[in-house]
């Protein structure tokens, strides 16, 4: 069995950048690494991602949103994450089940027990071995996220960035509560600093946890 690491946090926390840099470092050190993301990671889940993140879909109700995330995850786990772990690879995933708890549970304030049941249904027995939460103030994260969106030439994935600051504060608090409740799996990393500084913190967190090559 491989090793499953997830990167979590609010919008603009730096998790996607740090995931890519971690993958590059681990590959140089001889690990067989797969990088993926949620929602998405395979064609069917990517199609669902386009629906979920499109700001034109602002009328989507929270329950529909939750069920779409579960559907995308079921396909992603079956096609990408499960096979890679069975092949003994290191899987780095940009968001997973904890994002659903933070966004739809704490942010949308849906029933967290129901979300846990859906997460289990979609992911089966696959759970992260290590989860890194890149934490930063909401105003810092949203500023970075909007700068990235405005600079992108692809579709504007900004449905969540258009939510209220209070919504994002609830999400941040949700991630920190999840981390406190399961300290053996979670590590909270300060994501408010520079890219290289944060990378050092991330790699210091990851390397001691990895199985021997």
- The answer to whether the predicted template modeling score (pTM) of the entire model surpasses 0.75 is yes
What average pLDDT does range 158-166 have in this prediction?
83
On whether the CB atoms of residues 175 and 96 are closer than 8 A, the answer is no
Instruction: Note the pLDDT of residue 171.
Output: 97
Instruction: Note the pLDDT of residue 155.
Output: 67
Q: Is the pLDDT of residue 100 over 70?
A: yes
Output the 3-class SS for the chain: CCEEEEEECCCCCCHHHHHHHHHHHHHHCCCCEEEEECCCCCHHHHHHHHHHHEHHHCCCCHHHHHHHHHHHHHHHHHHHHHHHHHCCCEEEEECCHHHHHHHHHHHCCCCHHHHHHHHHHHHCCCCCCEEEEEECCHHHHHHHHHHHHHHCCCCCECCCCCCCHHHHHHHHHHHHHHHHHCCCCEEEEECCCCHHHHHHHHHHHHHHHCCCC
> Would you place residue 148 in the very low, low, confident or very high pLDDT band (cuts 50, 70, 90)?
confident
**Which residue has better confidence, 6 or 148?**
6
Instruction: Note the pLDDT of residue 154.
Output: 66
Q: Is the pLDDT of residue 153 over 80?
A: no
* Segment 187-199, tens digit of pLDDT: 999 988 889 999 9
What average pLDDT does range 183-210 have in this prediction?
93
> Would you place residue 15 in the very low, low, confident or very high pLDDT band (cuts 50, 70, 90)?
very high
Instruction: Note the pLDDT of residue 159.
Output: 79
On whether the CB atoms of residues 155 and 208 are closer than 8 A, the answer is no
Nearest to 102 by CA among 19, 191, 7, 209: 7
What average pLDDT does range 7-26 have in this prediction?
95
Instruction: Note the pLDDT of residue 49.
Output: 96
Give the domains, in start order, of the chain with CATH numbers.
Answer: 3-209 (3.40.50.300)
* Segment 36-85, tens digit of pLDDT: 999 999 999 999 999 999 989 999 999 999 999 999 999 999 999 999 99
Average pLDDT score, the chain: 93
CB atoms within 10 A of CB 77: 23
Name the token pair of 160: 């969540």
What are phi and psi for residue 56, nearest 5 degrees? -70, -15
Query: In b/e form, how buried is each residue of 81-105, taking b as 16+ CB within 10 angstroms?
Result: bbebbeeebbbbbbbbbbbbbbbbb
Name the token pair of 167: 């919504």
Q: Is the pLDDT of residue 120 over 80?
A: yes
């Amino acid at each position: 069995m491989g090793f499953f690491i997830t990167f979590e946090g609010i919008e603009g926390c730096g998790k996607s950048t740090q995931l890519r840099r971690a993958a590059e470092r681990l590959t140089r050190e001889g690990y067989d690494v797969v990088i993926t993301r949620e929602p998405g990671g395979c064609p069917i889940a990517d199609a669902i991602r386009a629906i979920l993140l499109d700001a034109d879909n602002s009328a989507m109700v929270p329950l529909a949103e939750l069920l779409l995330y579960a559907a995308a995850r079921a396909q992603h786990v079956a096609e990408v994450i499960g096979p890679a772990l069975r092949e003994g690879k290191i899987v780095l995933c940009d968001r997973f089940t904890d994002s659903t708890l933070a966004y739809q549970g704490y942010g949308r304030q849906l029933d967290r027990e129901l979300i846990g049941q859906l997460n289990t249904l979609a992911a089966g027995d696959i759970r992260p071995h290590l989860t890194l939460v890149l934490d930063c103030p909401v105003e810092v994260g949203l500023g970075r996220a909007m700068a990235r969106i405005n600079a992108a030439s692809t579709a504007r994935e900004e449905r969540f960035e258009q939510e209220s600051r209070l919504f994002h504060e609830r999400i941040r608090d949700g991630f920190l509560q999840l981390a406190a409740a399961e300290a053996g799996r979670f590590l909270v990393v300060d994501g408010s600093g520079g890219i290289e500084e944060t990378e050092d913190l991330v790699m210091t967190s990851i390397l001691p946890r990895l199985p021997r090559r």
